[in-house]
Structure 1
Amino acid sequence: MHFDFSVFSDPQTWVSLLTLTFMEIVLGIDNIIFISIIVNRLPQEQHSRGRTIGLLLALLFRIGLLLSISWIVGLKAPLFSIPVPWMQEGWNVTGRDLILLGGGLFLIGKSTTEIHTKLQGEEEEGHNAKGGASMGSVILQIILIDIVFSFDSILTAVGLVDNVLIMILAVILSMGVMLVFSGIVADFVNRNPTIKMLALSFLIMIGVMLVMEAFHKEIEKGYIYFAMFFSLIVEVLNMRLRKKAAPVQLRDSQYD
């Protein structure tokens, strides 16, 4: 594949690069959250290594997909059709639909299991009994979801710019940013149980969105990310309120 570096003499190229990099970071937030939660199953000393491996694998998947754009375009071609009551022409299943459907169901199932584990208190018991999950099982789960998130990310990149070199640079830059801040995000999520529960709920919502997209029911991603941001702001305010309320309760208890 031939890369034309002369495009960087055009200011519009830099605007496209910055815009796409920002978009890739935004789209990668859910990937970071998933990796952080899954990696938490590992022993404490392996958390950083697991996150790094997960994000590097995501980078490799994205670059590999970018170098196979013709294959990605081919995934949009119908493979077969299934009669569906709410679709007049039936469900024309494509390779993209199968990937989104599988990824969405995996995300819903995994997030629901994590919520159940958290509510039942089995997470702490598992860590105490077994010392955490194996690196191999964690990496396998990361690979499965990386494929889905990478696919969605690359489709967005293809829609924004038409130069593969710009796409690759944007993916590398965004992954660099995510590698730097992944530890901060993971520590914040793990230190705050309510934030972790909120993050898992976000992942279920994203899984539902992927399943709906597989059935050709597009949802504007802007609404999804706005809802996530708004919910996060409300939870942060609640956390600040709880911190201020706690000392008051303790002080009042002394006078009882």
Structure 2
Amino acid sequence: MYDFSAFTHAATWVSLLTLTFMEIVLGIDNIIFISIVVNRLPEALQARGRTIGLLLALAFRIGLLLSISWIVSLRTPLFSLPLPWLNEPFGVTGRDLILLAGGLFLIYKSTTEIHDKLQGHDDEGGPGRVAPTLPAIILQIIIIDIVFSFDSILTAVGLVDNVLVMIAAVIIAMGIMLAFSGKVANFVNKNPTIKVLALSFLIMIGFMLVMEAFHKEVEKGYLYFAMAFSLVVEMLNLRLRKKGKAAPVVLHDSQYD
């Protein structure tokens, strides 16, 4: 059924390392989203929420990997729309609908999180708001996990043609993300400017998903470079602010000898 002999070749291990790295890079935005939404839960439930969210992501990705033929079929147009600015009908596929729904949800969720933060009730909730429950947060994580898993699997299929290698890479990458998810979440939540920057990244990713739904491919390398550059600049700002707080106060003596 599955060819385990592939793991006896050096090329397979190179592919495994490459795909594992790609899964980690593509999974960072998932960790950020999970960390931000889970932060609304009581502190005692946050670690459990992150773990459940990442395990669900792992389950979705493995499930999609075992259904590659179904994923390929999602590229088949379900219906066509006669758009006036196109010379031919626009074929809408299942992939387009998933990316569009996920992108709009990501933009909406990130925008409302930024709005809540600017209003000053980021963690405790605004007046008249009901505190989110663990099932409600898990539902949000499931929605975005499906989209991120779908995007991740499409990348994996383009890099490797062995399902076992894909599954191994996903499991290794998810184990690494589980190990560091708590540190990432604490860092994001303890630094308000980093949190706003992370939400801005999620809006960019949501916009990219919407563009892909309309068959406008966005070069992800440019997007990730812009995100990395912005993060480096913000890290420098954090370092400067810490130095400013730690700088000793020098009292000048106004008396002359």
TM-score under structure 1 normalisation? Answer: 0.94
Identical aligned residues as a percent: 72
* Correspondence 1:17 to 2:16: yes
Deviation at 1:56, TM superposition (A): 0.1
Alignment match, 1:55: 54
Deviation at 1:247, TM superposition (A): 4.0
Could you say what the CA RMSD is over the residues aligned between the two structures, in angstroms? 2.0
Could you say what secondary structure the match of 1:92 adopts? Answer: strand
What number of residue pairs does the alignment pair up?
Answer: 254
Which residue pairs with 2:106 in the alignment? 107
Q: Which residue of 2 aligns with 1:133?
A: 132
Query: Which residue of 2 is the match for residue 203 of structure 1?
Result: 202
How many angstroms does 1:86 deviate by? 3.7
Name the structure 1 match of 2:185.
186
In structure 2, distance between residues paired with 1:251 and 1:59: 51
The Cα shift of 1:244 comes to: 1.4
Q: Give 1:19's aligned amino acid.
A: T
CA displacement 1:89-122 (0-9 Å, x = unmatched):
2321000000000000000000000000000012
How far did residue 3 of structure 1 move?
Answer: 1.0
- How far did 1:251 drift? 2.0
1:158 is matched with 157
Give me the TM-score of the superposition, normalised by structure 2. Answer: 0.94
Shift in CA distance, 131/253, structure 1 to aligned 2, threshold 3 Å: farther
Q: Which residue in the other structure is 1:68 paired with? A: 67
Is the 1:18–1:170 contact (alpha carbons within 8 Å) kept by the matching residues of 2? Answer: yes
Higher helix share: 1
Gapped runs of 5+ residues in structure 1? none
Deviates more, 1:2-11 or 1:202-211: 2-11
2:217 counterpart SS class: coil
2:2 is aligned to 3
1:4-59, CA deviations, whole angstroms, 9 ceiling, x for partnerless residues? 11111111000001000000000000000000000001000111100000000000
What is the CA–CA distance in structure 1 between the aligned matches of 2:140 and 2:245, rounded to whole Å? Answer: 39
Separation (CA, whole Å) in 2 of partners of 1:251 and 1:129: 44
Corresponding residue number in structure 1 for 2:25: 26
In structure 2, distance between residues paired with 1:197 and 1:182: 18
In 2: Cα distance, 1:192 partner to 1:205 partner: 20
- In structure 2, what residue type is equivalent to 1:44? E
Q: Where does residue 92 of structure 1 map in the other structure?
A: 91
Aligned counterparts of 1:188 and 1:149: Cα–Cα separation in 2: 22
Kept in 2: contact 1:43–1:131 (CA 8 A): no
Partner of 1:145: 144
| Inter-CA distance 253–49: structure 2 relative to 1 (3 Å threshold) | farther
Partners of 2:134 and 2:44 in 1: CA distance: 12
> Alpha-carbon deviation of 1:82?
1.1
SS in 1 for 2:122: helix
After superposition, what is the alpha-carbon deviation per residue over 1:158-186, rounded to whole angstroms, capped at 9, x for unaligned?
00010000000000000000000100100
Contact 1:43 / 1:132 at 8 angstroms: preserved in 2? Answer: no
Counterpart residue identity of residue 73, structure 1: V
Q: Is the 8 A contact 2:188 2:195 kept in 1?
A: yes
The equivalent residue for 2:249 is 251
Q: By how many angstroms is 1:124 displaced?
A: 3.7
1:41 partner SS: coil
The aligned amino acid for 1:91 is: F
Change (3 A) 1:181 1:124: closer
